[in-house]
């Protein structure tokens, strides 16, 4: 039996060490990378509009300012229309919070007694017994995240500022790549970046449309059912729409809990309403609006969300789908290149 000796050169070892150190550095500055990536997504969605305005003899600076002005005007209008109702609903919600917890606790106690009578199991009994405590503990943390909110607001301002300066100069992303990528890889890198930006821009526009449409569905449905705080619940549902598959499930939880305070049957109606809205989105809205903007398998999307959430929390989940889309474009190029080489 012959022995096989595998020799590893010192240069290979140093390369592995350098790669690991580089990956470690990327992990440490992941928040900065995510902020830069989100800015690129915004640039990808708005740059075609700026370019078209510039072709019509509108100065680029004025075109960028016009887009930001329209965006800020839209936000101010929404806040002006929504803020009074939202503040009123939020005030009522906080004042009625103890009563809601009491009603939910009574309902869960009845279920717990029913479970105990039928000997379903101590695990389920413990769950229903401890669930009110879990709700109270969760509610006590609602007002403890002020610094997290301020930190998120600061990141948003940085993203908007970064995207603004990137839009001010034509082909800023491509010019940046030319400064960091060797000459022989520049043509492919720029072409790849152009295709990725196109897909990310379509994703952002499509996702924004879905958020608005689903928000309207939630608000109209919850208002028709007479569910309290329909506006707040609809806003939560619309914002969580950014997270595919998982977001709608998370959005349904507070609506179902509040419906339980009215009656169990109302909670059933809310569950059915959320299922119907989700089916409309999956089989009508998403194919119609998104089309082939992403083109990823649902399993890949869920895995990307889990990985993004593990590595960078909420911010990681927000950019998980466009990052997976960008990797998909790159991997498709590799597969196409291998197929062409086999044909030859």
Q: What is the pLDDT of residues 16-54, one digit of tens each?
A: 787 788 777 777 777 788 888 888 888 888 888 888 888
Residue 127's pLDDT band, with cuts at 50, 70 and 90, is very low
Q: Quick check: is 13 in a domain?
A: no
pLDDT at 293 over 60: no
- The stretch 289-306 carries a mean pLDDT of 68
User: How many domains are there within the chain?
Assistant: 1
Residue 143 pLDDT? 46
Q: Quick check: is 23 in a domain?
A: no
Residue 325's pLDDT band, with cuts at 50, 70 and 90, is confident
Residue 148's pLDDT band, with cuts at 50, 70 and 90, is low
Q: Quick check: is 12 in a domain?
A: no
Residue 72 pLDDT? 86
What's the domain range around 184?
Answer: 29-343
Residue 8 pLDDT? 63
Q: What percent of the chain has pLDDT over 90?
A: 4
Q: Quick check: is 16 in a domain?
A: no
pLDDT at 317 over 80: no
Residue 272 pLDDT? 93
Residue 237 pLDDT? 87
pTM metric for this prediction: 0.66
Residue 120 pLDDT? 46
Residue 207 pLDDT? 83
DSSP string covering 20-79, please?
HHHHHHHHHTHHHHHHHHHHHHHHHHHHHHHHHHHHTT--HHHHHHHHHHHHHHHHHHHH
Q: Which two tokens stand for residue 94?
A: 């906080």
Distance, in Å, from the CA atom of 110 to the CA atom of 114, rounded to the nearest integer, reads 6
Q: Quick check: is 241 in a domain?
A: yes
Distance, in Å, from the CA atom of 241 to the CA atom of 173, rounded to the nearest integer, reads 28
- The stretch 218-228 carries a mean pLDDT of 89
pLDDT at 342 over 50: yes
DSSP string covering 63-122, please?
HHHHHHHHHHHHHHHHHHHHHHHHHHHHHHHHHHHHHHHHHHHHHHHHHHHHHHHTT--H
Q: Quick check: is 308 in a domain?
A: yes
Residue 221 pLDDT? 92
Contact 192, 328 (CB under 8 A): no
- The stretch 271-287 carries a mean pLDDT of 83
pLDDT at 116 over 60: no
Q: Quick check: is 115 in a domain?
A: yes
């Amino acid at each position: 039996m012959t022995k096989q000796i595998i020799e590893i050169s010192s240069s290979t070892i140093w390369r592995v060490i350098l790669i690991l150190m580089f990956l470690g550095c990327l992990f440490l500055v992941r928040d900065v990378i995510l902020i830069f990536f989100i800015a690129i997504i915004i640039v990808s969605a708005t740059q075609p509009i700026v370019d078209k305005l510039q072709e019509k003899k509108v100065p680029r600076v004025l075109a960028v300012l016009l887009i930001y002005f329209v965006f800020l005007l839209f936000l101010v209008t929404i806040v002006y229309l929504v803020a009074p109702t939202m503040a009123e609903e939020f005030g009522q919600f906080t004042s009625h919070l103890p009563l809601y917890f009491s009603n939910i606790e009574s309902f869960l106690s009845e279920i717990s007694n029913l479970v105990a009578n039928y000997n379903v199991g101590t695990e389920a009994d413990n769950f229903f017994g401890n669930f009110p405590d879990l709700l109270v503990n969760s509610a006590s943390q609602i007002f403890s995240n002020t610094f997290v909110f301020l930190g998120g607001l600061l990141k948003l301002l940085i993203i908007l500022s970064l995207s603004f300066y990137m839009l001010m100069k034509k082909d800023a992303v491509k010019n940046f790549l030319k400064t960091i990528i060797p000459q022989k890889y520049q043509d492919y890198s720029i072409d790849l970046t152009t295709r990725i930006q196109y897909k990310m821009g379509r994703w952002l526009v499509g996702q924004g449309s879905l958020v608005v449409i689903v928000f309207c569905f939630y608000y109209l449905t919850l208002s028709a059912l007479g569910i309290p705080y329909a506006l707040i619940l609809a806003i939560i549902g619309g914002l969580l729409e950014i997270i595919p598959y998982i977001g709608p499930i998370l959005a349904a939880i507070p609506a179902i809990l509040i419906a339980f305070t009215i009656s169990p049957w109302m909670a059933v109606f809310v569950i059915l309403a959320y299922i119907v809205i989700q089916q409309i989105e999956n089989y009508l809205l998403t194919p119609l609006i998104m089309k082939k903007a992403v083109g990823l398998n649902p399993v890949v999307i869920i895995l990307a969300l889990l990985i993004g959430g593990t590595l960078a929390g909420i911010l990681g989940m927000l950019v998980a789908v466009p990052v997976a889309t960008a990797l998909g474009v790159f991997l498709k190029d590799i597969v196409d290149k291998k197929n062409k080489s086999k044909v030859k």
